[in-house]
Amino acid sequence: MIEVSHLTKRYGSHVAVDDISFTVEKGCIYGLLGPNGAGKSTTMNVITGYLSPTSGTVTIDGHDIQEEPQAAKACIGYLPELPPLYTDMTVGEYLNFAAELKGMKKKADRCADVARVCEKTGLQGMESRLIRNLSKGYRQRVGVAAALLGNPAVIILDEPTVGLDPAQMIEIRALIHDLGQSHTVILSSHILSEVQTVCDRVLIISGGKLAAQGTPEELAARLAAKGVISATAQGDREQVLKAAQSVEGLTDLRVTAEKGDEVSFTASSAGGADLRAALSAALAAAGCPVLSLSSQNLSLEDVFLQLTENSDATAEAEDEQPKAAPEVPETAEPAEEKREAEASAETAQREEKGEN
């Protein structure tokens, strides 16, 4: 349904989206996940045709968004992070106005479509209410209803639950789940639990790059492929760490606390293997009694943080590369030093005259 190929978007020297490619299959709910400033909204704005890419292509149901913008946009219903609502209008007036903007010329067609989207979004009986008097949750519903006008094949929602209370969030998530039954949905969010609850597939963007993609289960398996062991043992710090390092498959040893002769540390086990028994045996053989030992698989949140932190660290390292200092002509003399030299010369001349 949607094919994004080598998409890049720059704002001057800042790269907001950096050469990302992915495909959105028909009839699925996709979650576009990432921290604030990762490039999610920019990606959505390019897909919807609101922004032009610096390079790369976006195809919607076979229509290139730049070469066939009208045909491509006709396939999309878009809810921005801040819905562009006219709060002095009633719900019915606004939706009729939005339907006319989408090209519905006949009043009967507009009324029928407005009634359809109101029923789908739970706005029946709200048509005569002023938008400014609605709660934020119902305003979001009005925005979703406007996106559904014309029955587009693709619905794109940018942070649809931001600023909502828990009850409103649950309502909007249920609505998104229902939309997935008849539309292809792309949902942008930085709330991992939200994406995991309603989405069939997940795309993680960090630092403008596509860090990972797959089903929530696949990403969870990928992230949980690395287990963490926490332990506390008695003994000298070096002796304890040396014993732990001797266990094959145990990496990333980090001392978390030291109290007297007790050393607490964490370590990672590749492949999610349970290495507690091997670690306990190694510590005992080294004469370091084990006081506590526990194992825990990394959660989806842990993996997400790991992916995004790695991308951010790479970006920071690139930004911190040393830059060549501007060349200064050898004959150029700093202004302050020049003034000091002139003052010293004048003083010397006065002293010389006084001596004479």
Place of tokens 């009633």: 90
Q: Are 66 and 130 in contact (CB under 8 A)?
A: no
Give the closest residue to 232 by CA, choosing from 256, 254, 279, 265.
265
Give yes or no: residues 79 and 138 share one domain: yes
Write down the number of H helices and E strands in the chain: 12, 14
Residue 316: inside a domain, yes or no? no
Structure tokens at 208: 């403008």
DSSP 8-class letter at 235: S
Give yes or no: residues 132 and 271 share one domain: no
Q: Are 342 and 242 in contact (CB under 8 A)?
A: no
| Domain of 89, in residue numbers | 2-215
205: β partners: 210
Give yes or no: residues 174 and 192 share one domain: yes
Give yes or no: residues 156 and 292 share one domain: no
**Sign (positive or negative) of CA dihedral 235, 236, 238, 239:** negative
Q: Are 134 and 128 in contact (CB under 8 A)?
A: no
Give yes or no: residues 273 and 190 share one domain: no
pLDDT score, position 98: 94
pLDDT score, position 326: 44
Residue 347: inside a domain, yes or no? no
Give yes or no: residues 163 and 262 share one domain: no
Contacts of 150 (CB under 8 A, 6+ apart): 74, 77, 99, 102, 103, 104, 113
pLDDT score, position 335: 46
Give yes or no: residues 30 and 84 share one domain: yes
Give yes or no: residues 166 and 291 share one domain: no
Query: Which residues of the chain are under the pLDDT cut of 50?
Result: 313-338, 353-356
Give yes or no: residues 116 and 185 share one domain: yes
Give yes or no: residues 33 and 117 share one domain: yes
Please calculate the CA angle 166-169-175 and round it to the nearest 5 degrees: 150
User: What's the pLDDT tens digit per position in 262-311?
Assistant: 999 988 876 667 788 999 999 999 999 999 998 765 555 666 666 666 55
Contacts of 266 (CB under 8 A, 6+ apart): 228, 229, 230, 231, 252, 253, 254, 256
3-state secondary structure of 10: strand
Give yes or no: residues 71 and 146 share one domain: yes
Question: Which of 274, 297, 320 represents a domain boundary (last residue)?
Answer: 297
Query: What is the CATH classification number for the domain harbouring 292?
Result: 3.30.70.3190
Q: How far is CA 188 from CA 10, 197, 232, 249, 350, in A?
A: 20, 13, 42, 37, 77
Supply the Cα-derived Rg of the chain in whole angstroms: 31
pLDDT score, position 207: 86
- Number of domain units in the chain: 2
Give yes or no: residues 17 and 162 share one domain: yes
Residue 311: inside a domain, yes or no? no
3-state secondary structure of 35: coil
Q: How far is CA 287 from CA 54, 233, 262, 284, in A?
A: 62, 10, 13, 5
pLDDT score, position 331: 41
Question: Which of 164, 187, 215 represents a domain boundary (last residue)?
Answer: 215
